[in-house]
Amino acid sequence: MSKVEFKQLSPADFFYRNRELAGFDTPTKSLYTAFREILENSLDGAEIGGINPDIFIVIKKKSEDVYTIFISDNGIGIPGKKVPNALAKLLFGGKYVERQSRGHFGLGASMTVLYSQITTNLPTRVLSCTRGSDEIDEYHLMINIQRNEPIIRYHAKLPNKKKWHGVTVEVNIEGDYGRAHPKILEYIKATAMVAPYANITFIDAYGTLYKFNKVIDEVPKLGEPVLPHPRGVDTEKMLRLLRVARQRSMNKFLQNNFQRIGEITAKNFLKFVDIKPDKDPQKLEHDEIVRIVQGMNSFEDFLSPETKCLSPIGENVLTKGIMKELEPDFVTAITRRPQAYSGHPFVIEIAFAYGGKTIERSSEPNLFRFANRIPLLYDQYADVSAKVIRTFNWRMYKVPDNAQLAIITHVASTKVPYRTAGKESISDREEIEREVRLAMQVCARKLRVYLSRIDREHRQAIRTSIFEKYVPYIARFATRLSGKKTIPSTDFVVGGGEAKTEDQKVNSGVK
């Protein structure tokens, strides 16, 4: 009764047992997660090569409760030999550098293969071809879950006659398509909103074809990999850097391994933590390492993290995407200046869209959340944006109670603080919450100006309609009173608008 057996799990076994942590919980959510993980990789695969994504998605019913997801992209492709590990080994990934990208857990694709296998016992079919290659690699993959190793059921090389490059994945998933369908469609629409430079074709399981065509050509520039910022470095990272360091002095070591440390900053910092500039990095004592790491987190003269690793959507692209997908009467977007939390740079982008025919009237704003260009559709309540909206002073900005308002939020960061590996909501880190609030205030002020204008125009229109009604009578009576015979034209009040000067009125009336 009180004996306990101990056991080691492989990462695959851990996530097999705790798959809800990666977004695979209910049959609905699992189908949706599988779909989005593959699509996100496809978008990344194209953008990393500066290619306008051209993505083809088909979902088909295979048998009762089993659906085939087929996604083909025109990205840079995965080299043939690396395909099995990249897709059928957990925590194996190509994204472990300091720059912004959609996925970063090394989990999504392999969890999809794993989930397919445990629900249907079928392998996942993958085609891959890099740019300029003559051969396409085809694999049928499964995972040895207990060992976290790929199982190759089939491998062949096909001639690449059409000069294709990219990745095609065909995976069978047990799921509830009826319920997943609205989320999948919402996800594609939202993606089209922030990626108006991509073509996406989607044929759903009911046979309906959806086409989202690009309205701009410019593919966003990817963030560049950067050195770590000293703020946010921990002893583990410091030890790893020291282990491979070739510099003979701390002065040089700091300048070569961190961003934002030049000669002067290095000197000042080393003085701050009481280490000699020519100290050999390999001869640091335990206490000194800890002092340096703690000093890096408290030293106040480092510049903010570099931001070339970030790739915000931009006010222009965001506005165009929103106009295309939501067709509002009014839109305003802001890209804030980069900030940082715990050494990770981030940028907040917010847009407000108001009125038009597709935005629903609602007591709460319609919130569209994005993180590193990924739409977040679940767990809205837990998100920092929802928290800011809940506590925002809408009255101050004269936003009516039941408004046709859509709010679009985008958090771009080398490390988005997701609450879960399922990437559904962003935690309310102080720095992020503050930026979201400030950005919303900017948008809300612009919305207030717009609403005031609309309101003024509306009142003007009412006034004008009264003029329109009475002016002809006044003109007739005035004519009669003055003894004249020709009644002057009163057309000038029709169509109203800005109040005209008396002179103009007279002029118009006289001509």
Residues in 74-93 at the binding interface with a copy of itself, rule: CB under 8 A: 76, 78, 82, 85-86, 89, 91-93
Measured from the CB atom, the residue of 150 and 328 that comes closer to a copy of itself is: 150
Q: Which stretch binds a copy of itself (CB under 8 A): 198-206, 262-270, 330-338, 415-423?
A: 415-423
Contact between 145 and a copy of itself per CB under 8 A = yes
Binding to a copy of itself, residues 331-390 (CB under 8 A): 379, 381-382, 387
Contact between 120 and a copy of itself per CB under 8 A = yes
Measured from the CB atom, the residue of 36 and 423 that comes closer to a copy of itself is: 423
Measured from the CB atom, the residue of 325 and 433 that comes closer to a copy of itself is: 433
Q: Are 173 and 34 in contact (CB under 8 A)?
A: yes
- Give the nearest distance from C-beta 19 to a copy of itself in angstroms: 10
3-state helix/strand/coil string of 478-497: HHHHHCCCCCCCCHHHCCCC
Helices (H), ranges, 25-81: 27-47
Q: Which stretch binds a copy of itself (CB under 8 A): 16-24, 203-211, 474-482, 488-496?
A: 16-24
Binding to a copy of itself, residues 273-312 (CB under 8 A): 286, 289-290, 293-294
Sign of the CA dihedral 111, 116, 121, 122?
Answer: negative
- Report the C-alpha gap between 309 and 509 in whole angstroms: 64
- Report the C-alpha gap between 48 and 230 in whole angstroms: 27
Which member of 52, 60, 62, 95 binds a copy of itself (CB under 8 A)? 95
Q: Name the nearest CA neighbour of 193 among 331, 72, 388, 336.
A: 331
Q: Are 39 and 70 in contact (CB under 8 A)?
A: no
Contact between 419 and a copy of itself per CB under 8 A = yes
Binding to a copy of itself, residues 23-62 (CB under 8 A): 25-26, 48-50
- Give the nearest distance from C-beta 164 to a copy of itself in angstroms: 16
| Token pair recorded at residue 335 | 């890209």
The amino acid sitting at 445 is R
According to DSSP, residue 76 is labeled -
Measured from the CB atom, the residue of 286 and 357 that comes closer to a copy of itself is: 286
* Beta carbons within 8 Å of 470's beta carbon, 6+ residues apart: none
Measured from the CB atom, the residue of 290 and 454 that comes closer to a copy of itself is: 290
Which member of 52, 201, 304, 420 binds a copy of itself (CB under 8 A)? 420
The amino acid sitting at 462 is I
Q: State how beta strands 199-203 and 330-335 pair.
A: unpaired
- Give the nearest distance from C-beta 7 to a copy of itself in angstroms: 5
According to DSSP, residue 342 is labeled T
Contact between 245 and a copy of itself per CB under 8 A = no
Give first-to-last CA distance, the chain, whole Å: 106
CB atoms within 10 A of CB 230: 24
Q: Are 165 and 133 in contact (CB under 8 A)?
A: yes
| Token pair recorded at residue 188 | 């594609």
Which member of 61, 96, 155, 466 binds a copy of itself (CB under 8 A)? 96
3-state SS assignment for residue 4: coil
Measured from the CB atom, the residue of 99 and 267 that comes closer to a copy of itself is: 99
How distant, in Å, are the alpha carbons of 153, 193, 194 from that of 319? 47, 9, 9
Contact between 102 and a copy of itself per CB under 8 A = no
- Give the nearest distance from C-beta 11 to a copy of itself in angstroms: 5
Which member of 427, 441, 479, 508 binds a copy of itself (CB under 8 A)? 427
- Give the nearest distance from C-beta 466 to a copy of itself in angstroms: 45
Contact between 441 and a copy of itself per CB under 8 A = no
Which member of 35, 67, 302, 418 binds a copy of itself (CB under 8 A)? 418
- Give the nearest distance from C-beta 340 to a copy of itself in angstroms: 14
Which member of 74, 265, 307, 425 binds a copy of itself (CB under 8 A)? 425
What CA dihedral angle connects 473, 476, 482 and 485, to 10 degrees?
180
- Give the nearest distance from C-beta 86 to a copy of itself in angstroms: 6
